[in-house]
Amino acid sequence: LLLLGIETTCDETAAAVVRRRADGSGEIVSNVVLSQIDEHAAYGGVVPEIAARAHVEVTDRVIDEALKAAGIELRQLDGIAAAGGPGLIGGVIVGLTTAKALALATGKPLIAVNHLEAHALTARLTDGVGFPYLLLLVSGGHTQLVCVSGVGAYRRLGGTIDDAIGEAFDKTAKMLGLPYPGGPEVEKAAERGDATRFALPRPLMGRHEPDFSLSGLKTAVRLEALKIAPLSEQDVCDLCASFQAAIVDIVADRVRAAMRVMREIGQKPTALVLAGGVGANQAVRRMLHKVAAEGGTRLAVPPPALCTDNGAMIAWAGAERLALGERDGLDIPPRARWPLNEATLAAQTAPA
Ligand code: ATP
Ligand code: FE
Ligand code: MG
């Protein structure tokens, strides 16, 4: 199956062509990502109106580039996938409507993909991971631990009760005067910092349920920064290192808790899968390699460019669904809110 995938839920306009073979393996044929970071940087975060307008301006061109780079014509495709949510509604409308128009014009099946499901399934494309697996989804808007037992079978084991981890990175960066997006900046600064200089809290550590809480940690960073202001470059590096060390400890402990829950519900994971933008963080990856090995499994994590938003993950999730006979009607609505556990298969939700 050859799928086009379109991603426009946040601040990246992306399109890709992906092939899925009958044996379940896959291949990225082309992958074009146009980031709007420069347009939002001045505001220190994504401005929905600017994002929607930018998607309108470049989506057609990004799709053309993805098809051209793949050497593929529209008529050679087996399906057209777009992220149908969750995300900033203006952007979702642009990508999904474009996909509908292409599906209508070509007669190809349309697949409206849940953006979180696309993050969740990427490791099957890059690492051939089998079901069930334990998924840690950590991005700008989400922090969840999920038992994935099939396409469309997502059981949430725990998640954040306040901020997402990516959001905590971004807010910490902003507080310390680092540019947006903050994750990579904090990671870079942390490499030159002393992680033991500030004793920061690790909320919810030790708790049985695999939940997260990040807002207290963020506040603690702010209070420490106020105490020693004005901040030298070394102060910023030390705060970043101490913050990142706390995140790594929290993530390790919460993943261990989720592994215990997996055992309790009788699921033996084939892998621990790390997905979402924070998955690009090397310190988090290093720790999770250890945690996975301790738990008798392995860590599977897509390369950084496939952890952050991209079209290949949308095309791949579309292909996984199409292979199961799933497709959507042209009347499917764009969704700002669409929890992962509601991304089921039509066969499961259709009335008997
Ligand atoms: P969502 O997928 O929840 O809708 P999103 O699409 O904005 O949100 P992604 O693009 O998957 O999220 O990830 C972006 C987030 O990942 C940002 O918060 C960014 O700071 C964070 N991030 C990216 N690289 C790193 C890194 N090296 N270390 C820590 N965080 C990072
Ligand atoms: Fe994302
Ligand atoms: Mg993004």
Q: How confident is the model at residue 296, as a pLDDT?
A: 96
Q: Are strands 79-85 and 110-114 parallel, antiparallel or unpaired?
A: parallel
Q: Among all ligands shown, which has an atom nearest to the Cα of 279?
A: 1
Three-state DSSP class for 222? helix
Residues framing ligand 1 (Cβ under 6 A) = 9-10, 87, 115, 139-142, 166, 169-170, 181-184, 187, 276-278, 280-281, 308-309
For ligand 1, atom 15, name the residue with the nearest CA: 140
- Average pLDDT of 28-33? 97
User: Does residue 22 contact residue 329 with C-beta atoms inside 8 Å?
Assistant: no
Other Cβ atoms within 10 Å of 306 Cβ, number? 23
Please calculate the CA angle 151-152-155 and round it to the nearest 5 degrees.
110
Pocket test for ligand 1, best of 185, 218, 309, 335 (most atoms within 8 A of CB): 309
Enter the ipTM.
0.97
pLDDT at position 234 over 70: yes
Nearest atom in ligand 1 to 304's CA: 24
In terms of Cα–Cα distance, which of 101, 24, 88, 34 is closest to 311? 34
Q: How confident is the model at residue 35, as a pLDDT?
A: 86
Nearest atom in ligand 1 to 87's CA: 4
For ligand 1, atom 9, name the residue with the nearest CA: 277
pLDDT at position 5 over 70: yes
Q: How confident is the model at residue 36, as a pLDDT?
A: 81
Q: Among all ligands shown, which has an atom nearest to the Cα of 166?
A: 1
Beta bridge partners of 80: 4, 110
pLDDT tens digits along 148-184: 999 999 999 999 999 999 999 999 999 999 998 899 9
pLDDT tens digits along 303-327: 999 999 999 999 999 999 999 999 9
Binding-site residue numbers for Fe cation are: 115, 119, 309
- Average pLDDT of 37-45? 80
Q: Give the whole-angstrom CA distance, residue 97 versus residue 333.
A: 9
- Average pLDDT of 243-268? 97
pLDDT at position 348 over 70: no
What is the pLDDT confidence band of residue 349, given thresholds at 50, 70 and 90? low
pLDDT at position 351 over 70: no
Mean of the per-residue pLDDT values of the chain: 95
- Average pLDDT of 246-274? 97
Binding-site residue numbers for substrate are: 137-141, 170, 183, 187, 281
Q: Give the whole-angstrom CA distance, residue 300 versus residue 83.
A: 23
Ligand 2 center to residue 89 CA distance, Å? 14
Pocket test for ligand 1, best of 169, 244, 250 (most atoms within 8 A of CB): 169
- Average pLDDT of 69-86? 98
For ligand 1, atom 19, name the residue with the nearest CA: 183
Nearest atom in ligand 1 to 181's CA: 20
**In the chain, pLDDT over 70 holds for what percent of residues?**
99
Distances (CA, A) of 271 to 130, 210, 267, 295: 8, 17, 11, 10
Q: Give the whole-angstrom CA distance, residue 262 versus residue 273.
A: 14
pLDDT tens digits along 103-139: 999 999 999 999 999 999 999 999 999 999 999 999 9
User: Does residue 319 contact residue 22 with C-beta atoms inside 8 Å?
Assistant: no
Binding-site residue numbers are: 115, 119, 137-141, 170, 183, 187, 281, 309
For ligand 1, atom 30, name the residue with the nearest CA: 183
For ligand 1, atom 29, name the residue with the nearest CA: 183
Ligand 3 center to residue 138 CA distance, Å? 12
Ligand 1 center to residue 285 CA distance, Å? 14
Q: How confident is the model at residue 352, as a pLDDT?
A: 44
What is the pLDDT confidence band of residue 252, given thresholds at 50, 70 and 90? very high
Q: Among all ligands shown, which has an atom nearest to the Cα of 139?
A: 1
Q: Among all ligands shown, which has an atom nearest to the Cα of 142?
A: 1
The pTM assigned to this predicted structure is 0.93
